[in-house]
A and B are shown apart, each in its own frame.
Chain A
Amino acid sequence: MTAHRHLLDIADLGGRAGIDEVMRLTDSFVEVSERPIPRVPALRGKTLAWLFYEDSTRTRLSFETAAKRLSADTMNFSVSSSSVKKGESLRDTAKTIEAMGIDAIVVRHASAGAPHRIARWVDASVVNAGDGWHEHPTQALLDCYTIRQHRGDLAGQRIAIVGDIKHSRVARSDVWAFTAMGAEVVLVAPPTLLPPSLDGWPVKVSHRIDEVLPTVDVVYLLRMQRERMTEALVPSLREYTATFGLTNQRVELLRDDAMVMHPGPMNRGVEIAAEVADLPRSVILDQVRNGVAVRMAVLYLLLGAGTDRVPEVPPPTPEPLAPTLELPRA
């Protein structure tokens, strides 16, 4: 087992073996979450800090619950009520938090690469909880776990990721995680919502959702991120819904066993029809539920297991012999 120190992107886990390790560990934490007392003392005495420069409900609550169930202490840092308002730099903020004796920092930031910078500045473990358009690794891990839970394995699954790929860190992490696990990924979006270049992405691309839906095992919908759209990329949300939304008519095109996933928060009526989100085939709440266990696994992997700081207890040194007394000769 490799010792991890940070989780900044999916590549940090080193491909299928590392992701499988997280999945296996998550099984144990799912069991912990089902107990009458869903709490283990695994990270007792560790302190985690949340450094969230962007709004978040589910990711932050999910990390918070995960930390509590591992008996770790947590420190909240919300940008709106902190010294960042007074002009403190990211580096100074991170160093200040670290100086309080923090074992791990969970970072969400609007700029890609911010967690990587912090990881270079501090000794604590850093977990990326979403950086700009770059990556959101714990979301991809919980998506993998949810698909594995329903299908047994990701290998051979055909997964369509539909929507605003360009602005989506979830899509980027998912592409790397799904393909590392042996799944086949199709990106479905209008050209304006795809990244400028897909060189090196192990994916297929389609602009016609109606042709893709009958062929896939999983359809993964992304939220239209209006807050990141600085230009008119789609004529209107209504037109997007008409051409790419998973409407009540379109959901009929799916195979009977195909699953619908969404990272949340959903815009019901835009990328997903209000009723579709509540169909039995939609596993959106399973994703949220598994999120806690997956984040427990990640925190445990970084802070609990695999730290080889004291590899062996040295054998006890023998007591020095008492100096022999010189007995006076008779």
Chain B
Amino acid sequence: MAERERRQAPPYGGVFAPRTRVMDSDDVQRAVWRMAHEIIEANQGIDDVVLVGLQTGGLPIADALASALASIGGHEVLVGSIDVAFYRDDIGLRPVLPEAVTHIPWPLDGRTVVLCDDVLFTGRTIRAALNALSDYGRPRAVQLAVMIDRGHRELPIRPDFVGKNLPTRRDEVVDVHSDGVDLGEMIR
């Protein structure tokens, strides 16, 4: 789920009711492999590529991409995690607490960072992540890989690697989980 949607889910509010299965686990796996190939193609290899998953939905995506990259590219890539709670623009408007500790134990200078998230919605979380990354160093480039791009951007941000473009209504909710991707609504 996008960050905005996650904070409508427990413990803050409603219950997610899935309506349509958009991708099953095989579809997700195929998308991961294709995105891994695209990452290698775009960067001419994975020598300087590190993956950073956004807490918490982006971590499984980052891990899946990392294992795909390792088996295609022949060696392991570094995987970190980042929590952007302290960089959000809605602090003070609603409860914003970090979900987990940020873990980027290596310098980012000169490397290509691929930010990984499950759902790209308004782009505000990615904006916060870009600000956070700049506090860790100066990456050579930052790219964005998302499993679902559901539109409704509020900032000039676009993904570099997309699992699936999914046109949605604004009030719908996309849930990426281990068995696939569901489209549904939040019931209050």
Residue numbers of A with Cβ under 8 A of B are 1, 3, 25, 27-28, 30-32, 35-37, 39-43, 70, 300, 303-311
**Is B95's CB under 8 angstroms from A41's CB?**
no
Q: A37 CA to B100 CA in the complex, in Å?
A: 19
Known: A25-B97, A31-B102. A304 touches B92 (CB 8 A): yes
Which of under 10, 10 to 19, 20 to 34, or 35 or more describes the interface residues of B?
A: 20 to 34
Which A residues touch B97, using CB under 8 A? 1, 25, 305-306
Q: B96 touches which one: A30, A39, A305, A311 (CB < 8 A)?
A: A305
Q: CB-CB contacts of B89-117 with A at 8 A, as 1s and 0s?
A: 00111111110111100010000000000
**Which residue from chain B places its CB closest to the CB of A1 in the assembled complex?**
B95
Q: Which of these binds chain A: B33-41, B131-139, B158-166?
A: B131-139
Q: Are A40 and B98 in contact (CB under 8 A)?
A: no
Q: A305-B95, A306-B95, A307-B92 are in contact. List 7 more A-B contacts (CB 8 A).
A: A1-B97, A32-B102, A35-B136, A40-B86, A40-B135, A70-B86, A311-B94
Could you say which of B11, B95, B100 contacts A308, with CB atoms under 8 Å apart? B95
Cβ–Cβ contact B92 & A303, under 8 A: yes
**Distance A310 CA – B100 CA, assembled complex (angstroms):** 25
Q: Which residues of A contact B85 (CB under 8 A)?
A: 28, 42
Inter-chain CA distance A70–B91, complex, in Å, is 12
A309 touches B92 (CB 8 A): yes
- Please, which residues of chain B bring their CB within 8 A of the CB of A311? 94
Residues in B37-73 with C-beta less than 8 Å from chain A = none
Q: In the assembled complex, which residues on chain B have CB atoms less than 8 Å from the CB atom of A32?
A: 86, 102
Residues of A within 8 A of B98 (CB): 25, 28
Is B94 within 8 A of A310, CB to CB? yes
Complex contact B101–A305 (CB within 8 A) = no
Q: 22 A-B residue contacts at CB 8 Å?
A: A1-B95, A28-B83, A28-B100, A32-B102, A35-B135, A36-B136, A39-B135, A40-B86, A40-B87, A41-B86, A42-B85, A42-B86, A42-B87, A43-B91, A70-B86, A300-B86, A303-B92, A305-B97, A306-B97, A307-B92, A307-B93, A311-B94
Q: Which residues of A contact B136 (CB under 8 A)?
A: 35-37
Contacts of B135 in A (CB 8 A): 35-37, 39-40
A313 to chain B, nearest CB (A): 8
User: B83 touching A308 by the CB < 8 A rule?
Assistant: no
Query: B97's closest neighbor in chain A, by CB?
Result: A305
Contact B101 A308 (CB under 8 A): no
Per-residue 0/1 for B136-153: is the Cβ within 8 Å of any A Cβ (1 yes, 0 no)? 110000000000000000
B92 contacts across to A, CB distance below 8 A: 303-304, 307, 309
A27→B100 CA distance, assembly (Å): 8
- In the complex, the answer to whether A28 meets B101 with C-beta atoms within 8 Å is yes
Cα separation A308 to B91 with both chains bound (whole Å): 10
Output the least CB separation between A25 and chain B (Å).
7
In the assembled complex, the Cα of A41 lies from the Cα of B11 at a distance in Å of 26
5 closest A-B pairs by beta carbon, nearest first, are: A40-B86, A42-B86, A28-B98, A37-B135, A310-B93
- Closest A residue by C-beta to B103: A31
- Closest Cβ of chain B to A210, distance in Å, is 42
Smallest CB gap from B4: residue in A? A313
**A304 and B96 within 8 A (CB):** yes
